[in-house]
Amino acid sequence: MIIKGFLKTSFVDWDGKIVSVLFCAGCNFRCPFCFNIDLVFNNPKIPQILEKEIFKFLEKRKDFLDGVVITGGEPTIFEDLPEFCQKIKLPIKLYTNGSNPEILKYLIKNKLIQSISMDIKAPLEKYQKVTNSKIDISKIEESIKLIINSGIDHSFHSTLVPKLHTEKDIKKMAQLIKAGKRYYLQNFKPGKTLDPKLKNIKPFASLENFARIANKYINTKIRS
């Protein structure tokens, strides 16, 4: 595992829980609207955080923390993710892009994670365009089904970007995960993005209509 970000205390990354958040470096997607550029490309100028430092802190704060969130980048690109999770003696929430259902299945089967949230990038037919990546769409579908049938707490989330997402898209995305528990929508925030062309694009004025459409299929909320 390559960890290059460590938020020691967060009240917003796992609903109702006080957690530490670990940010993995590296990702197999190249979403143009992504703002975690340094993590996606594993910027060598950012020092790696040693596991012993992480576990020392977690042990010290185990009576205060409710859990640990592992996000990225993309955590499932690391083969040692299960081994890393085993070392954490607290409940774990995993954020993933769903590209590696094999490792998700192992984590769920062996009860190494207690909650999972998958990023839904687009309707399946637009996935490669929106992520600017070559993707095995069947793996995305498999991860969705796996998460919905996992028996553990789960949610899905999407960042909506003008010129990339439409109301028709959100309907298809919601239908794709309609058997899931929760769906969170968040608005694109212009600034430092993977694709500089998006830097000055204005976000949607409101996501209310998107949420109304999605809510017909799955419990949907807007996140700021």
φ, ψ of residue 196 to 5 degrees: the values are: -60, -20
For helices 208-215 and 167-176, give the axis angle rounded to 10 degrees.
40
CATH of the domain at 48: 3.20.20.70
Examine the pLDDT at 188 and tell me if it is beyond 90: yes
Distance between CA 206 and CA 112 in Å, rounded?
37
Q: pLDDT by residue (tens digit) across 44-71?
A: 999 999 999 999 999 999 999 999 999 9
Q: Report pLDDT for 35.
A: 87
Q: What is the mean pLDDT of the chain?
A: 95
Local confidence band at 224 (pLDDT 50, 70, 90 cut-offs): confident
Question: How many domains does one find in the chain?
Answer: 1
Q: What is the pLDDT of residue 197?
A: 86
Q: Tokens at residue 17, please?
A: 């829980």
**Of 107, 92, 8, which Cα lies nearest the Cα of 53?**
8
pLDDT, tens digit (0-9, with 9 covering 90-100), for 92-120: 999 999 999 999 999 999 999 999 999 99
